[in-house]
Every structure is written in structure tokens, then in C-alpha cells.
């Protein structure tokens, strides 16, 4: 069996080698290429598998003949290992697949471990409970590569994964963070960024029930004396949870905390103390004085990246931080960061006429600075549209909403719709302004439909499709928006098309337009859109489509098509899984070197 391939010159070296080749020269047979080019093609095929786990392009090439089987044995084994990670359903199968990574060639360790983390992230997206995620996280930590560079890379991924889990799910306990800390402490050098994340996770998860366990972590082998001291100080700041902390104890801890050179770690510990201060039910002069010292310590954090967070969480009180200093503070931030600070302080400033006037001035000056940065202005207008809900003063609310509407008219179709959709979430207090928004919205939707009909690529269609999603909830625009979305879906990359079909299904389910159920012909169109996707990308949308099916004989066609699609998808998935026994590193089968 011979394999042919037209080669593309991807590097300067290859370009110089092929520059003299006649344009009419026949394409090279793949197996006749130098071995380094065979392996380069295989490398990029493995990279492709990270986004398309069922698209194994290496094994079919390795199966062609003995020469390719020998040359591609290592990347074929890596491709089999990646497939096994995704084909694993049970915890036992997943453990086998992770164990098999130890036998992968060092040349392909990076791709295989990246696939392992992606597979774990996918498991973590399922609805809780998800005990397998923690079990496999532990297993992966115990199987990390021995190579120092690869081990550090995987530890960074482990910290990032754990940090996201600790922030967004209550299922993530102290145990995986503690195990992660012990592994990180064994690194030759623990980077500062990873240590900051570990401390933040501990600050979030430590409580009265597990504080003693935390005390033991302070003596983790491998931690430097400085980091042991910082962890001990964190535990001191949390000592006595969930009760309040005495003002005397708070002031005693402020000194050691302020001596920490790293501003991010200092901020984490100061926030722990602020949390304890808020827990105090009985305000007193001593507590007010201690809080004032705490706030001054926060203000002394001048790091540019941390300053917005400091300002968002500070009370602008006259005895501590005069309100009129806010303008100077905002001027040093980007317009978007400044807007986040303003939104967090709106309630404090909206209590009197002076505060409302200052708030208006802050918004005006920040908006003017944003106009001078046109690339970031659309995102700023979206954020301002969402943040308007915090404004309680009716006159200021109407004036700022009018400015946002005015600026949005200069934007392209997709960006304009994004801004108007942000404003749509408001509780309108001015009928004229609401009518003006409605006219602007109708015009923008029409412009977006026109632009989408002209789009010929996924890159051109994608922002317009996203911007038109809110139109699916409008009774007078739902049908046209749905038809436009489905017609443009084939322009997208399959992964983007699958993700967007999932979004369309959810919006249609929640739309008041479909309160009594979707129309039969529209549901059939959604089912057929799912059929156009590769089988491994349909699985998220099939449950939604099933849920949307109408009961009774009048929906017999859509029910039959849905049943056929689900069966076809499951058959294709079973056939693929059968090719890749979980945990087994498959090698290329040797065939006749010259035969088919």
C-alpha cells in the first residue's frame, strides 16, 4: 500500500530545498520522505488529536507497511495512549490509561500529558457529584513524569486545575490541595506564582473543621523557612474561625503581614484579616481603629496589577480614604479596570448628592479615556451597560445609558448588538429611553442578519452568530434568528459548530417563545444540524434535543429522527472505543513493505 501526500513547505529550510523543484514535479510518496519529515507530520497529527481525540491520523499511516510501522512506532503508541485517555469510562480504565503514559516516548510526553489534563477537565464539567475527578487527580499527581522540566510543566497544570476547582465548586476539598502542596514542595524550585495560588486555595478552604490539618501543612517537607512562616501566618490569620477576631489580635498580626515582601501574598493575608473584621458583630472604637490600620495596610499595596482589587474592596470613608481621591486612583488604571472599581463603589457613593455627582464625574472621565482607546471601547461599553444596574440615581442612570447608546452606533454590527444586549438586561426607568433602545436594537439585528448573509468564512460568521443569540428570545425575531444561525453553522470549525449548537438549544429551551414547545420543522432542523457534526461532538447536544422533543403523534417525524441520530452516534462511538483498549499502548502493525 502506497501513501501519497503533497508536501507544504513549512520552514525556511524546506522552502530552500524545494525552491528549485519544478512546479510540474509529481507529489512525493509519503513513505519516501526522510524520517525526520515523517516524524514532523506525526507530531502535528498528535497536536491535532488534542482538540480532536477521535482523529488519529498516525496509526493508519503506521499500519501501511513495515517501514512506516518502524518509523512511526513511537508516535503511534502516543496516539493510542491519547485515544485511551478519552475512551476510558470507568475510573479503573482511566487509571490504566494514565499509567500507560509512563511508557510513552519522551518525545511525546508533552502531548500525552496535555491530553490527560484535558480529559480530566472534561470529567470535571459534568454535573456533581464527581468523586472520580478527585481520585484521578490524586492518581495523576502520583504518576507525573520524572524529567524535571516536564514535571514542572505538569505541576503548573495541576495547580491551575486545582485553583479553578477550588474557586468554582464546593466539592473540591482541602485534601487534594494538601496533596498538591506536598508534591509542589518537592520541586527543586517552587515558582512564586504557584506558591501564591496554593496560599489562595488554602485561604479559601481552611476552616474551623480542618485548621489542625492546616497546621500540619506548615511543616511540609521541602518548604523553605520563609514559606513555612508565610503559611503559619495565614493559619494565624484564620485561627478562631468562624468567630470574630479581637482588635488586639488583629493589630498584632498586621506587623508580620506587612513585612512580607510579595504584595500578592500580603494581599491574600490582609483579606483574611478583613474577613475576620467583618465577622465582628459588635463594632467598637478599638475595632474601628484596628480596621483603619488594616485599610491603610491595603492602601500601601501599590502593585499595578493588584491595585484595582485593592480599590474594589476598600470602603472610601472620609476618615480613611477621602472620596475625592478616587479620581486620581482611577486615572492610573485602564478604563475597564477603573469601571470595575466604580461599580464596586457605587453603593457607597450613591448615598448623597455629593457622592452621586462625584460618581457621574468618575464615569464621564473614564468613558472619555476609553474613547481614546478604540480597540477596547466596545468591551468597555458592554461592561458599562451591565454595570448600569448598580446606579440607583434615576437621572444619572438615564444620562449614562444614553451615552452608551450613542457610542454604540459607531460600532460594527456584532459589537453593536453585544452592547445593546448588555443594556437589555436593565430595568428601564425611562420610557423614552426604552423606546430608543428598541429602535436601535431592531436596526442592529437587521444589520447583523445582512452581514451574516455576506459571510463566507467561520471567522467572519462567528462574532455575528454569537451576537444574534439574544434575538432567539424575542418573539418577533426568534424564527429569523434561528434560521440564520442554522444556515451559517456549516461555516464554523466543527468544535465551534458543536459549541454553538449547544448554545442555540439552550436558548431555544429557555426562550418564552417556545413556552408551549418548539415548532416541529424547527426541531427537525436542529436535529439535522446535529447530524452534520462528527459523532464525538454530538454527545453534548443530544440530551438537549431529546428534552425538546414534543410528545404525541404530531411529533412522530422529529421523534424518529432523534432516535436514529442517538443510535447512530452511539454505534459510531462504540466502534471507535473498540479500536482503543483503554490503557494499552498500541503499536503499528507490520505489513508487507511493498504490498497493499
pLDDT tens figures, 199-239: 999 998 887 667 888 888 989 999 999 999 999 999 999 88
482 against 285, higher pLDDT: 482
C-alpha–C-alpha distance, residues 239 and 208, integer Å: 8
- Rounded to the nearest integer, the mean pLDDT of the chain is 85
595 against 564, higher pLDDT: 564
User: pLDDT class for 577, splitting at 50, 70, 90?
Assistant: low
User: pLDDT class for 253, splitting at 50, 70, 90?
Assistant: very high
Place of cell 523557612: 225
| Residue 4 DSSP one-character state | B
pLDDT at res. 28 = 58
Mean pLDDT of 516-540: 86
C-alpha–C-alpha distance, residues 324 and 331, integer Å: 12
Q: For residue 198, is pLDDT > 80? A: yes
Nearest to 569 by CA among 595, 531, 596, 543: 531
User: pLDDT class for 478, splitting at 50, 70, 90?
Assistant: very high
pLDDT at res. 59 = 82
Q: For residue 375, is pLDDT > 80? A: yes
Angle at 587 (CA atoms; ends 581, 592), nearest 5 degrees? 125
Mean pLDDT of 427-434: 82
pLDDT at res. 210 = 77
Q: Where are the alpha helices (DSSP H) in 25-127?
A: 35-51, 58-62, 66-71, 73-87, 91-100, 109-124
Mean pLDDT of 164-180: 91
Q: For residue 332, is pLDDT > 70? A: yes
pLDDT at res. 6 = 35
pLDDT at res. 281 = 63
pLDDT tens figures, 314-323: 876 655 666 6
Contacts of 227 (CB under 8 A, 6+ apart): 190, 195
pLDDT tens figures, 93-125: 999 999 999 999 999 999 999 999 999 998 998
Amino acid at each position: 500500500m502506497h501513501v501519497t501526500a503533497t508536501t507544504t513547505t513549512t520552514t525556511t529550510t524546506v522552502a530552500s530545498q524545494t525552491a528549485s523543484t519544478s512546479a510540474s514535479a509529481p507529489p512525493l510518496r509519503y513513505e519516501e520522505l526522510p524520517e525526520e519529515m515523517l516524524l514532523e507530520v506525526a507530531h502535528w497529527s498528535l497536536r491535532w488529536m488534542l482538540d480532536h481525540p477521535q482523529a488519529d491520523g498516525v496509526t493508519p499511516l503506521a499500519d501501511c507497511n513495515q517501514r512506516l510501522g518502524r518509523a512511526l512506532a513511537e508516535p503511534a503508541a502516543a496516539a493510542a495512549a491519547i485515544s485511551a485517555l478519552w475512551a476510558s469510562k470507568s475510573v479503573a480504565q482511566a487509571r490504566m490509561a494514565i499509567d500507560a503514559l509512563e511508557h510513552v516516548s519522551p518525545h511525546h510526553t508533552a502531548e500525552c500529558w496535555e491530553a490527560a489534563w484535558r480529559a480530566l477537565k472534561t470529567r470535571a464539567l459534568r454535573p456533581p457529584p464527581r468523586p472520580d475527578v478527585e481520585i484521578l487527580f490524586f492518581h495523576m499527581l502520583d504518576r507525573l513524569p520524572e524529567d524535571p522540566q516536564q514535571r514542572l510543566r505538569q505541576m503548573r497544570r495541576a495547580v491551575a486545575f486545582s485553583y479553578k476547582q477550588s474557586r468554582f465548586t464546593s466539592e473540591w476539598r482541602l485534601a487534594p490541595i494538601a496533596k498538591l502542596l506536598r508534591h509542589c514542595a518537592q520541586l527543586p524550585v517552587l515558582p512564586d506564582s504557584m506558591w501564591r495560588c496554593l496560599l489562595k486555595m488554602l485561604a479559601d478552604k481552611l476552616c474551623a473543621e480542618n485548621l489542625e490539618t492546616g497546621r500540619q501543612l506548615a511543616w511540609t517537607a521541602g518548604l523553605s523557612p520563609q514559606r513555612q512562616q508565610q503559611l503559619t501566618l495565614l493559619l494565624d490569620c484564620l485561627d478562631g474561625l468562624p468567630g470574630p477576631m479581637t482588635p488586639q489580635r488583629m493589630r498584632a498580626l498586621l506587623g508580620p503581614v506587612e513585612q512580607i515582601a510579595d504584595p500578592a501574598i500580603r494581599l491574600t493575608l490582609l483579606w483574611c484579616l478583613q474577613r475576620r473584621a467583618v465577622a465582628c458583630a459588635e463594632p467598637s472604637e478599638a475595632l474601628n481603629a484596628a480596621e483603619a490600620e488594616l485599610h491603610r495596610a491595603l492602601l500601601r499595596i501599590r502593585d499595578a496589577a493588584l491595585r484595582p482589587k485593592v480599590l474594589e474592596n476598600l470602603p472610601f470613608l472620609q476618615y480613611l480614604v477621602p472620596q475625592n481621591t478616587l479620581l486620581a486612583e482611577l486615572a492610573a488604571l485602564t478604563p475597564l479596570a477603573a469601571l470595575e472599581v466604580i461599580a464596586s463603589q457605587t453603593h457607597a457613593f450613591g448615598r448623597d448628592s455629593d457622592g452621586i455627582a462625584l460618581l457621574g464625574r468618575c464615569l464621564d472621565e473614564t468613558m472619555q479615556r476609553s474613547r481614546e482607546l478604540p480597540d477596547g471601547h466596545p468591551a468597555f461599553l458592554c461592561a458599562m451597560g451591565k454595570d448600569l444596574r448598580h446606579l440607583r440615581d434615576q437621572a444619572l442612570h438615564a444620562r449614562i445609558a444614553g451615552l452608551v447608546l450613542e457610542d454604540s452606533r459607531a460600532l460594527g454590527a456584532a459589537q453593536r448588538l453585544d452592547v445593546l444586549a448588555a443594556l437589555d438586561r436593565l430595568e428601564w426607568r425611562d420610557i423614552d429611553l426604552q423606546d430608543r433602545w428598541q429602535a436601535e436594537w431592531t436596526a442592529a439585528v437587521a444589520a447583523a442578519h445582512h452581514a451574516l448573509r455576506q459571510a463566507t468564512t467561520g471567522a467572519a460568521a462567528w462574532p455575528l452568530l454569537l451576537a444574534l443569540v439574544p434575538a432567539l428570545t424575542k418573539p418577533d425575531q426568534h424564527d429569523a434568528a434561528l434560521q440564520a444561525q442554522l444556515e451559517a453553522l456549516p461555516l464554523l470549525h466543527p468544535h465551534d459548530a458543536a459549541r454553538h449548537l449547544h448554545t442555540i438549544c439552550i436558548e431555544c429551551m429557555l426562550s418564552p417563545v417556545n413556552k408551549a414547545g418548539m415548532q416541529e420543522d424547527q426541531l427537525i432542523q436542529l436535529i439535522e444540524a446535529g447530524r452534520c457534526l462528527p459523532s464525538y461532538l454530538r454527545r453534548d447536544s443530544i440530551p438537549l434535543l431529546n428534552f425538546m422533543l414534543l410528545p404525541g403523534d404530531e411529533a412522530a417525524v422529529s421523534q424518529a429522527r432523534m432516535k436514529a441520530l442517538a443510535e447512530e452516534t452511539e454505534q459510531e462511538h462504540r466502534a471507535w472505543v473498540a479500536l482503543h483498549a483503554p490503557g494499552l499502548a498500541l503499536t503499528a502493525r507490520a505489513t508487507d513493505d511493498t504490498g497493499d
